[in-house]
Structure 1
Amino acid sequence: MRCCLVAFVEPAPEEFGRDAWPLHVTWVPPFDVPAEPDLGHVLTAHAAIGTEVVGEAWFGARHDVRVAELARTEAIDALHRGLLAVLADQGVDVLGMRHVRDEFRPHVSAQGERVLAVGAPVHLEDVALVDMRPDGDPSRRRVLRTWPLG
């Protein structure tokens, strides 16, 4: 199963198209896992996180992905690293991942005209496990489970 871990910052349907993501922060980029990872014990140790948009940037190899960069707080960093550690303990290859640990830049990618403005408050209250190929279909995404923080 190919999954990622995100925090939605707007309401998210259970399923959506590859090009129709709700606004979100990616905690852990896509990874392969044989079964749903057990994350509950890590997430109860972290309270909901408040942060804000501190800038706009362009990500991607061609610098064509508009993002709203978030303030990288200790709480954000601790949750990100905690998720990586728990996944590693469950056999996920986190060492080969890009844009994690010190390279992690918390952000919300723009979705068409939907983008967060500099100064906008952002409340991260849960972590969602998203299947990147539900039923073998790479054009769809499915929220498998959402865990509250705290």
Structure 2
Amino acid sequence: MGAYVLVAFVLPVQAGLVFPRSGWPLHITLVRFDTRETADVVRSRFDGVLPARLGFGLRIGPDAQFGRNASVPVSLVEPEPALHRLHIDALEALGPQVHLPGAQHNRSNYRPHVTHAATRLFPGDQVSIRQAALVDMRPDNDPRLRQVLAVWEPA
């Protein structure tokens, strides 16, 4: 079964980018999922949905702590209807044939955020959502790496 995540990177990336598990570029997770479908089939599910939903701005809100023992520092994203619609449309495009680990964090419980890394965003920062990207969480079955399989931009 393939493990994937659909994200909106803060700064644009190119398809083919490979990075270490510990070296994610700043991003907002749209949906995390597992499927037995090929990456090409998954990509095609998003082709008709994502471009029409991209090209909006949002504002970064306060800092918070996520994860086990609240050990992961994040910057929350202020409520933005366009981002929530993008999340919902991505879920609907996937359909029932996918497994959603962490499903309790979807739909009305979706809490968009940007995890702090070597760099971070600050309350009040403005971000333009100009791209969505499909990321393979285990390219070539290697859990130490991540690979951007496809990117979508506004129609």
Structure 1 stretches of 4+ with a deviation exceeding 6 A read none
In structure 2, C-alpha distance between the alignment counterparts of 1:95 and 1:149, rounded to whole Å: 28
Report the alpha carbon displacement of residue 30 of structure 1 after superposing the two structures with TM: 3.7
Question: How far apart in 1 are the matches of 2:106 and 2:75?
Answer: 18
User: Do the aligned partners of residues 59 and 96 (structure 1) sit closer, same or farther apart at CA in structure 2, a change above 3 Å counting?
Assistant: closer
Identity %, equivalent residues? 36
Which residue number corresponds to residue 4 of structure 1? 5
Q: How is 1:1-150 mapped onto 2 (pairs within 5 angstroms)?
A: 1-12=2-13, 14-36=17-39, 37=42, 38=44, 39-88=46-95, 91-94=97-100, 97-112=103-118, 114-150=119-155
Which range is displaced more, 21-30 or 130-139?
21-30
* Matched position secondary structure for 2:121: coil
Higher helix share: 2
Deviation at 1:125?
A: 0.8
The answer as to whether partners of 2:87 and 2:107 remain within 8 angstroms in 1 is yes
The answer (yes or no) to whether the contact 1:54–1:70 under 8 Å persists in 2 is: yes
TM-score normalised by structure 1 residue count: 0.91
User: Shift of residue 94 of structure 1?
Assistant: 4.1
Pairwise CA distance, 1:44? 2.7
User: Which whole-Å deviations, capped at 9, do the CAs of 1:11-48 have from their partners, x for residues lacking one?
Assistant: 54600000000000000024234212121111132141
Structure 2 residues without counterparts, runs of 5 or longer: none
1:28-74 superposed Cα distances (whole Å, 9 cap, x missing partner): 02423421212111113214120011111000121011111111211
Q: Compute the displacement of 1:2 (Å).
A: 1.1
Asked if 2 retains the 8 angstrom alpha-carbon contact of 1:3 and 1:33, the reply is no
The whole-number CA distance in structure 2 between the counterparts of 1:49 and 1:25 is 14
Contact kept, 8 Å, 2:33 with 2:100, in 1: the verdict is no
- Work out the CA distance in 1 between the residues paired with 2:62 and 2:102: 28
CA RMSD of aligned residues (A): 1.7
When residues 17 and 123 of structure 1 are mapped into structure 2, their CA distance, relative to the original with a 3 A threshold, is same
Aligned length: 148
